[in-house]
Structure 1
Amino acid sequence: MIGTTGIDERPRDPENGAPVPFVCEYDDGRASVRLLNKKRVTQCALSRICGVCGDSLGRPVAFVGPLAEANREAFHFPPVHVECGRALVATTGDAPYGVLGQDDATASWVMVTTGGFDHDRPQPGELDRRPTFRPNSVLETVPL
């Protein structure tokens, strides 16, 4: 277990004061809800750790993102604990700019729970160079 911290104890974003998730921090001290650290995104996928708190994931696993990501079953933010996902969107989701792997502000967020997922890295020639997470057995989709 990485044993980082819960969302309330996370470092604060200098721009909006929101807690900065584990996956939005860099080893050099940069931290912002606008950033996704690709190294940590991959770490979350391969080690099955939460993108918010950095602790091990159990089941179900949750993904948060806009409805468009849920509809195409491909999320940019790594898997999270259900509780961490709810807290993350509650503290960060109403930003007037793109956060948590989104290019633009997101008007409405959803949470998808699943038993497992696939991690897809971008392929040569793809315009969107962000990795995606694909739930492989959706249990529930709920608005946040």
Structure 2
Amino acid sequence: MSAATGTPTMDRKWVTQCALSRICGVCARPLGRPIAFVGTDEEIGRNAFHLAPMHVACASTVVDATTRVVTTAGFEFVRPAKEDVDRRPRFEPNSLL
């Protein structure tokens, strides 16, 4: 998401900024709890999301027919290693709600 446009984006720089600053990927305000991630069934099954973390209310504005919202109390930000097939940064929730 981009605070400037309010639309989904997987821009590495923005995703990393959101992760390190603990800000919402949609509105860029600080995150509290619960934290929401929007992802496909595959991302949910892998517990690895590519869009930045969001407030629950912000996530509800961007979810669509191919995605669902997952909430968590915390997450790990994972930067891909050279040998990873998926070279995008990802988020791994550590306590689903």
What does residue 135 of structure 1 align with?
93
Which whole-Å deviations, capped at 9, do the CAs of 1:30-54 have from their partners, x for residues lacking one? xxxxxx2211111111111011111
TM normalised by structure 2 equals 0.88
Higher relative contact order (CA 8 A, sep 6+): 2
List gaps (5 residues or longer) in structure 2.
none
| Equivalent runs, 1:1-144 vs 2, <5 Å | 11=5, 19-21=6-8, 24=9, 36-89=10-63, 93=64, 107-139=65-97
Q: SS at the partner of 1:138?
A: coil
Root-mean-square deviation (Å): 1.8
Using the aligned pairs only, state the percent identity. Answer: 52
Q: SS at the partner of 2:17?
A: helix
Note the C-alpha offset of 1:88: 1.2
Q: SS at the partner of 1:118?
A: strand
CA distance in structure 1 between the aligned counterparts of 2:57 and 2:80, rounded to whole angstroms: 29
CA distance in structure 1 between the aligned counterparts of 2:7 and 2:50, rounded to whole angstroms: 16
List gaps (5 residues or longer) in structure 1.
12-18, 25-35, 94-106, 140-144
Q: Which structure is larger by alpha-carbon Rg, 1 or 2?
A: 1
Query: Deviating runs (4+, > 2 A) in structure 1?
Result: none
CA distance in structure 2 between the aligned counterparts of 1:125 and 1:115, rounded to whole angstroms: 29
Aligned residues: 96
CA distance in structure 1 between the aligned counterparts of 2:7 and 2:70, rounded to whole angstroms: 21
